[in-house]
């Protein structure tokens, strides 16, 4: 990789780097000898670009429901384009799925394609994970009324980090993206949770303001940074907008939402159209993570929601049974030192996120994307 490419890569990873302290804390606080050995093994197998792995994923998403109260225009839940029936995971299913990942998990994110606090069992679910000494975090829009009793349950649940999506400092700017949301409700929930946490004498959950920097709100960044503690947040993190997975080449959508400040262009359709991929690295999701959907379907990363992209069903199978199946071997083979002779086609073949040295149809993929983009622009 050239120096310029490395600098570009670092700049685009700035958002991820801000999350590293959380991951490091989970590792230091929650790793047992066995989990630490699995973590080191997974990272070694990633660096060696193995296709068949002896290690198991250590970072999980469990999506407790794919239902939401808002209509964010770049989210496939918000724009009603989910490729899986909308459903709530119940506590019994949650416990049985969690039991299968628990031996390896260092950190569990209890969300992906919905608003997790709408699930009435969420407090029990968090407490169940925390009881097993595994790091927990949850991302919420917090844009619905929460009672004091609910906020107290959240403060007592053992949740380590609450990520609150709030992209603006006034209602006019906020609701351009968080359609159907109410900024005063969000602030009120944050303030009351902060107060309840103090009353109970607990330090968690840490409350993080996640401010996605769009074209329409980038001028409010400094004001947000100044005000975050006054509102009740512990930290603030600015992050890049993500375009929907099927629209990553859509330059019109990018022109509408992406900010002027190029530091927040982690996904850049123009770069994709030029280069056909975003990241020079191999896909780390295939070594570190798994995303469990509300029906138990397992996808290799958090970007995918369509059931047809599932790599396995954790309801009926195990991590051991899924992790080296034909789909996983074929997907890793796109990056492996020794590619498979007859790989299966998976959703990873057309993924534009990571450079795929072994993907023969890459040129066709780019041509298709360019054609799709032309259609979008008409």
Residues that bind ligand SF4 (CB under 6 A): 68, 70, 72, 75, 77-78, 114-115, 141, 165, 283, 285-286, 300-301, 303-304, 331, 347-348, 351, 353-354
Our CB check for ligand SF4 shows the closer of 135 and 352 to be 352
| Cα–Cα distance for residue pair 109/161, rounded to 1 Å | 10
| Cα–Cα distance for residue pair 374/249, rounded to 1 Å | 10
Find, among 304, 212, 331, 305, the residue nearest to 265 by Cα. 212
Our CB check for ligand SF4 shows the closer of 31 and 174 to be 174
Our CB check for ligand SF4 shows the closer of 72 and 162 to be 72
Report, in Å, the least distance between residue 246 CB and ligand SF4: 12
Report, in Å, the least distance between residue 354 CB and ligand SF4: 6
Our CB check for ligand SF4 shows the closer of 254 and 282 to be 282
Report, in Å, the least distance between residue 337 CB and ligand SF4: 17
Report, in Å, the least distance between residue 16 CB and ligand SF4: 13
Report, in Å, the least distance between residue 283 CB and ligand SF4: 3
Our CB check for ligand SF4 shows the closer of 78 and 205 to be 78
Q: How many helices (H) and strands (E) does the chain have?
A: 15, 9
| Distant-in-sequence, close-in-space partners of 180: CB < 8 Å, separation ≥ 6 | 69, 70, 71, 143
Our CB check for ligand SF4 shows the closer of 241 and 259 to be 241
Report, in Å, the least distance between residue 150 CB and ligand SF4: 18
Report, in Å, the least distance between residue 257 CB and ligand SF4: 13
Side-by-side strand order, sheet with 312-313 = 235-239, 206-212, 161-165, 135-140, 107-109, 59-62, 289-292, 297-299, 312-313
Report, in Å, the least distance between residue 112 CB and ligand SF4: 8
Report, in Å, the least distance between residue 92 CB and ligand SF4: 24
Find, among 213, 211, 210, 212, the residue nearest to 261 by Cα. 213
Is the CB of residue 137 less than 8 Å from the CB of residue 106? no
Is the CB of residue 306 less than 8 Å from the CB of residue 81? no
| Cα–Cα distance for residue pair 17/12, rounded to 1 Å | 10
Our CB check for ligand SF4 shows the closer of 93 and 347 to be 347
| Cα–Cα distance for residue pair 137/206, rounded to 1 Å | 9
Cis amide linkage into residue 205, ω under 30° from 0: yes
Query: Cα angle at 20 between 19 and 22, to 5 degrees?
Result: 70
Residue 123, Cβ neighbours under 10 Å: how many? Answer: 18
Find, among 315, 298, 317, 305, the residue nearest to 85 by Cα. 305
Our CB check for ligand SF4 shows the closer of 141 and 217 to be 141
Report, in Å, the least distance between residue 165 CB and ligand SF4: 6
Give me the helices (H) in the chain, please: 3-12, 14-30, 33-47, 91-101, 122-131, 148-156, 171-177, 183-200, 221-231, 251-257, 269-275, 285-288, 319-323, 326-333, 362-377
Our CB check for ligand SF4 shows the closer of 106 and 286 to be 286
User: Could you tell me the two tokens for 342?
Assistant: 């007859």
Our CB check for ligand SF4 shows the closer of 103 and 180 to be 180
């Amino acid at each position: 990789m050239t120096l310029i490419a490395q600098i570009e890569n670092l700049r685009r990873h700035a958002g991820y780097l801000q999350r590293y302290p959380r991951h490091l804390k989970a590792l230091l606080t929650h790793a047992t000898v066995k989990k630490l050995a699995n973590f080191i093994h997974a990272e070694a197998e990633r660096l060696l670009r193995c296709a068949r792995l002896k290690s198991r994923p250590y970072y999980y998403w469990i999506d407790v429901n794919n239902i939401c109260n808002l209509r964010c225009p770049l989210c496939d839940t918000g724009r009603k384009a989910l490729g899986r029936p909308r459903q709530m995971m119940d506590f019994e299913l949650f416990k049985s799925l969690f039991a299968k990942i628990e031996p390896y998990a260092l950190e569990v994110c209890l969300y992906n394609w919905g608003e997790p606090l709408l699930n009435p069992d969420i407090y029990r679910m968090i407490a169940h994970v925390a009881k097993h000494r595994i790091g927990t975090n949850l991302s919420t829009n917090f844009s619905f009324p929460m009672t004091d009793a609910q906020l107290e349950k959240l403060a007592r649940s053992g949740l380590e980090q609450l990520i609150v999506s709030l992209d603006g400092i006034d209602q006019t700017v906020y609701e351009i993206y968080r359609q159907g949301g109410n900024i005063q409700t969000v602030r009120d929930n944050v303030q009351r949770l902060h107060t309840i946490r103090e009353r109970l004498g607990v330090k968690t959950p840490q409350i993080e303001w996640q401010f996605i920097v769009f074209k329409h709100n980038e001028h409010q960044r400094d004001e947000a940074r100044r005000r975050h503690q006054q509102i009740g947040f512990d930290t603030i993190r600015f992050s890049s907008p993500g375009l929907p997975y099927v629209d990553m080449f859509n330059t019109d959508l990018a022109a509408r939402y992406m900010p002027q400040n190029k530091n927040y262009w982690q996904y850049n359709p123009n770069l994709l159209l030029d280069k056909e991929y975003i990241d020079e690295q191999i896909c780390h999701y295939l070594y570190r993570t798994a995303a469990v959907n509300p029906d138990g379907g397992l996808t290799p990363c958090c970007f995918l929601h369509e059931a047809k992209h599932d790599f396995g069903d954790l309801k009926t199978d195990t991590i051991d049974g899924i992790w080296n199946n034909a789909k996983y071997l074929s997907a890793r083979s796109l990056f492996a030192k020794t590619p498979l002779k007859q790989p299966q086609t998976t959703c990873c073949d057309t993924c534009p996120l990571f450079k795929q040295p072994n993907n023969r149809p890459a040129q066709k993929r780019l041509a298709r994307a360019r054609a799709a983009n032309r259609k979008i622009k008409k």
